[in-house]
Amino acid sequence: MAQTDLYHLIENPEVLKEHGQDFGRIQFSNPLGVLRPTSVQELQSLIVDLTKKKIRVNIQGSAHTANGQSQCDQGVVIDLKSFNQVVQTGYDQDPPWINVQAGILWEEVLKHSLAHGLTPPTTTDWQKLSVGGTLSTGGVGFMSYQKGIQADQVLELEVVTADGEHLVCSHNKNKRLFNLVRAGFGQFGWITHAKLKLEKAPKYLEVLQCFCDSSKNFHQLIETLVQDAYFDCIHAFLIPKSLDEMKKKVSNSDHNALEKTWDQDQKATPQWIYFIELAKYRNHANPDPEVLKKIDLSLIWNNFLTQNRESFFDYIHKEPPLIEIQKKLGNLAHPELAILHPANHFVSWMDDFIMNLKIKDMGGGPILIIPLLSDKIHCPLFRHPIKGMFYFIGILRVEDQNSPTRLKILQQKNLELYQKSIQKGGFRYPCDSLEQPNCPKEWRIHFGEETWKKIEEGKKIFNSNHILTNSLGWFD
């Protein structure tokens, strides 16, 4: 592919192959070249040149999307991992902040900030995601019900737009662009720098773990805990109800207690059980018996409740289940569904899902559940139920038989679940592998008229030639 001396594209077949895929391993594409930029000027030269040549382009952070959202077939892929430096810090400011190049991984941000006793308010469950990547999707974490999403915790961004401009944007400056690039999946410009808000990090966490064996009890427990706002982190998994699976979730020191409780459990059903983990920030390592009083024991499985302390660092650096599976089984396809589902329809939707859910349909992949509150989220393109509490539900399947037919079946199951969710006011979190929405007509419904109008206007201003593209099909 012809290039100029202002930027350098890698055309090595191995590199092209690596960047023609993402974590999902469902979509594979053939990029023409890969840019690993070291300066903003390089990005500006690239976009100006590609616009002239009418060649499309997409940007990748860590490529953890599941359906090609970070790929570009027959175009150029920007691999922003090379753009990964801390530029400036304001640790003693109010609020404290760190300004980074957007290809940096969150683990690097944390390495710097934790050394000064500071952390981003919300951290994702996997720190090898890039800053630019999660700001472009939303960035949900276990602390989101109180702190919101990462896209709302950014103070200022620097962006290269499709006409080659390098602009600073924030709530006070170029607000239109600021509102479009956050959760904008790279469709209005490339985030090159992010000034991130920080806050005081706790040293320890008081961690409580328990199980609920019905959706009704689970929802009642979580709803109360969210209202109390006592715990700093809340998340859960739906897991097969077996001693082995339950043991995998609780700390080793609690295995004996779990075995005893299991022996007393006379009920063969249900087949699935909710595992819940709650964490309270602490600056000392002493046990606090008060924490236990926050849990309504009548709602949890056989009164089984554990309490442990962990360092904040260890807690946020744990490998999520999907990465553990990948390390064990290698790279497999991930037919995933991620939805934001209204809390008042949670029980019926989950019960319907569980009724038809077979263990083999997950391929060992997790079902992750995180409560969120709509009034804590302001980023306009992060579409979610408008009122009250809702749940992030990630049905993160693994296709472990390398079978295209099975992959299709699992994708179809996800689609059916999604359709049932939108009927109840749910929305897709679009880094999953769902094949809908996939055209402007459908995205217009997803975003709603008011936001869609802003998206269309934004495209005319910042991506008028439709050079910035991805697999979601907002503009195709």
Ligand X SMILES: Cc1cc2nc3c(=O)[nH]c(=O)nc-3n(C[C@H](O)[C@H](O)[C@H](O)COP(=O)(O)OP(=O)(O)OC[C@H]3O[C@@H](n4cnc5c(N)ncnc54)[C@H](O)[C@@H]3O)c2cc1C
Segment near ligand X (CB under 6 A); pick from 65-73, 211-219, 233-241, 301-309:
65-73
Using rule CB under 6 A, residue 380 touches ligand X: no
From first CA to last CA, the distance across the chain in angstroms is: 24
Provide the minimum distance between the beta carbon of 401 and ligand X in the complex, in angstroms, as a whole number: 20
Provide the minimum distance between the beta carbon of 204 and ligand X in the complex, in angstroms, as a whole number: 21
Q: Are 143 and 449 in contact (CB under 8 A)?
A: no
Provide the minimum distance between the beta carbon of 191 and ligand X in the complex, in angstroms, as a whole number: 4
Is 183 or 300 the residue whose CB approaches ligand X more closely?
183
Is 310 or 319 the residue whose CB approaches ligand X more closely?
319
Given 132, 364, 365, 371, the residue binding ligand X (CB under 6 A): 132
Provide the minimum distance between the beta carbon of 330 and ligand X in the complex, in angstroms, as a whole number: 15
Provide the minimum distance between the beta carbon of 429 and ligand X in the complex, in angstroms, as a whole number: 7
Is 295 or 333 the residue whose CB approaches ligand X more closely?
333
Segment near ligand X (CB under 6 A); pick from 63-71, 85-93, 420-428, 451-459:
63-71
Is 126 or 427 the residue whose CB approaches ligand X more closely?
126
Residue with the shortest CB distance to ligand X: 133
Encoded tokens for 229 = 């706002």
Beta partners for residue 237, in sequence order: 275, 368
Is 186 or 458 the residue whose CB approaches ligand X more closely?
186
Given 45, 134, 179, 215, the residue binding ligand X (CB under 6 A): 134
Using rule CB under 6 A, residue 23 touches ligand X: yes
Using rule CB under 6 A, residue 323 touches ligand X: yes
Distance from C-alpha of 169 to C-alpha of 171, rounded to nearest angstrom: 7
Using rule CB under 6 A, residue 137 touches ligand X: yes
Using rule CB under 6 A, residue 133 touches ligand X: yes
Using rule CB under 6 A, residue 63 touches ligand X: yes
Segment near ligand X (CB under 6 A); pick from 64-72, 171-179, 377-385, 411-419:
64-72
Using rule CB under 6 A, residue 204 touches ligand X: no
The mark string for 268-287 relative to ligand X (x by CB under 6 A, - otherwise) is: --------------------
Given 46, 109, 129, 325, the residue binding ligand X (CB under 6 A): 129
Q: Over the chain, what HEC string results?
A: CCCCCCCCEECCHHHHHHCCCCCCCCCCCCCCEEECCCCHHHHHHHHHHHHHHCCCEEEECCCCCCCCCCCCCCCEEEEHHHCCCEEEEECCCCCCEEEEECCCEHHHHHHHHHCCCEECCCCCCCCCCEHHHHHHHCCCCCCHHHHCCHHHCEEEEEEECCCCCEEEECCCCCHHHHHHHCCCCCCCCEEEEEEEECEECCCEEEEEEEEECCHHHHHHHHHHHHHHCCCCEEEEEEEECCHHHHHHHCCHHHHHHHHHHHHHCCCCCCCEEEEEEEEEEECCCCCCHHHHHHCCHHHCHHHCEEEEEEEHHHHHCCCCHHHHHHHHHCCCECCEEEEEEEHHHHHHHHHHHHHCCCHHHCCCCCEEEEEEEHHHCCCCCCCCCCCCEEEEEEEECCECCCCHHHHHHHHHHHHHHHHHHHHCCCEECCCCCCCCCCCHHHHHHHHCHHHHHHHHHHHHHHCCCCCECCCCCCCC
The mark string for 77-116 relative to ligand X (x by CB under 6 A, - otherwise) is: ---x---------------------x--------------
Given 185, 315, 346, 391, the residue binding ligand X (CB under 6 A): 185
Using rule CB under 6 A, residue 124 touches ligand X: yes
Given 37, 96, 138, 148, the residue binding ligand X (CB under 6 A): 138
Given 67, 84, 119, 136, the residue binding ligand X (CB under 6 A): 136
Given 339, 431, 455, 467, the residue binding ligand X (CB under 6 A): 431
Beta partners for residue 305, in sequence order: 210
Closest CA to 369 of 336, 334, 339, 399: 339
Beta partners for residue 395, in sequence order: 337, 367
Given 139, 363, 364, 371, the residue binding ligand X (CB under 6 A): 139
Is 9 or 63 the residue whose CB approaches ligand X more closely?
63
Is 168 or 243 the residue whose CB approaches ligand X more closely?
168
199-200 and 233-240: which strand pairing?
Answer: unpaired
Using rule CB under 6 A, residue 470 touches ligand X: yes
Segment near ligand X (CB under 6 A); pick from 46-54, 134-142, 220-228, 237-245:
134-142
Using rule CB under 6 A, residue 125 touches ligand X: yes
Q: Are 39 and 11 in contact (CB under 8 A)?
A: no
Q: Are 58 and 6 in contact (CB under 8 A)?
A: no
List interacting residues with ligand X (CB under 6 A): 23, 58-65, 69-70, 80, 102, 124-126, 129-130, 132-134, 136-141, 185-186, 190-191, 320, 322-323, 431, 470
